Amino acid sequence: MKMASEAQRQHAEAMLEHETPVIQLVGVSREYASKSGTVRALADASFTIGSGEWVAITGPSGSGKSTLVNLLGCLDTPTSGKLTIDGEEVHAMSSTELDRFRADKIGFVFQQFHLIPYLSALENVMLAQYFHSMTNATDARAALDRVGLADRADHLPSELSGGEQQRVCIARALINDPPILLADEPTGNLDAANQKIVADILRELHAAGHTIVMVTHDPEMAALAQRKIALSHGKVFCHPVKTVVVNLGR
């Protein structure tokens, strides 16, 4: 095991010489203190995610997926190791710096939507602008239009279907144009028809150059990503990047 993680670390460092990764972990661990001792939720993780990549994070319950997503989303900091996001060393940042950094760099899409129930779809999107800088209703409407919800802008979350609520969340995640989109089970609460709509939006965003990191239990969703990062007992197993098949014949 020690050799495998050393190889991962060397790979992560070698990658750095060849391209500029948008996310880079070198020897990142996250431990929690508990009554029964220390829990190593993420153990010595080293990998990179390139700009514009679509990566699926998979693994059984308790394997460390949320721990990893919380670190990548700057909601938490590692116990040890180096975490660099968009060229900034976030492991060394204060919580105030992390708040600012998160608002600029990360868009979140959660399984449980987390919309404010007494605000309209438009106002929910504008709230994300407010945390960032200035609100602009025209931009917020354009973001809703981008996910096909221009005609639902004035609806409350309770007046929207589950799929529509998730599309409002995607509009909210996109409004500040962050380079990274972090999605935690984005289709976990959706039926097949809405799953397809959300999958199509994610596909479009990926085609438009967004970096997408998505936790999913759903093999169909995971298959949309270019690469899988599998977790098992806090250890990371990166699958190779899918090779591009170039057909030279007719």
Q: Does 81 bind ligand ATP (CB under 6 A)?
A: no
Cα–Cα distance measured from residue 137 to residue 85, given in angstroms and rounded to the nearest whole number: 30
Residue 48 binds which entry of ligand ATP, Mg ion, none, with Cβ cut-offs from 5 to 8 Å by kind? none
Interatomic CA distance for residues 118 and 124, integer angstroms: 9
The reply to whether 66 sits near Mg ion by the rule CB under 5 A is: yes
Residues 216, 58: contact at Cβ < 8 Å?
yes
Q: Choose, by CB under 6 A, the member of 41, 168, 212, 229 that binds ligand ATP.
A: 41
Rg (CA), the chain: 19
Question: Helix 95-105 crosses helix 121-132 at what angle (to 10 degrees)?
Answer: 130
Select the span of 32-40, 160-168, 186-194, 204-212 touching ligand ATP (CB under 6 A).
32-40
Position among 46, 58, 66, 120 found at the interface with ligand ATP (CB under 6 A): 66
Q: Is 235 in the site for ligand ATP (CB under 6 A)?
A: no
Is residue 168 within 8 Å of 121, Cβ to Cβ? Answer: yes
Q: Residue 243's binding partner, choosing from Mg ion, ligand ATP, none, with beta-carbon cut-off 5 to 8 A by kind?
A: none
Instruction: State whether the Cα torsion 169-114-134-102 is positive or negative.
Output: negative
Under the rule (CB under 6 A), what is the footprint of ligand ATP?
32, 34, 39, 41, 59, 61-67
State the residues that interact with Mg ion by CB under 5 A.
66
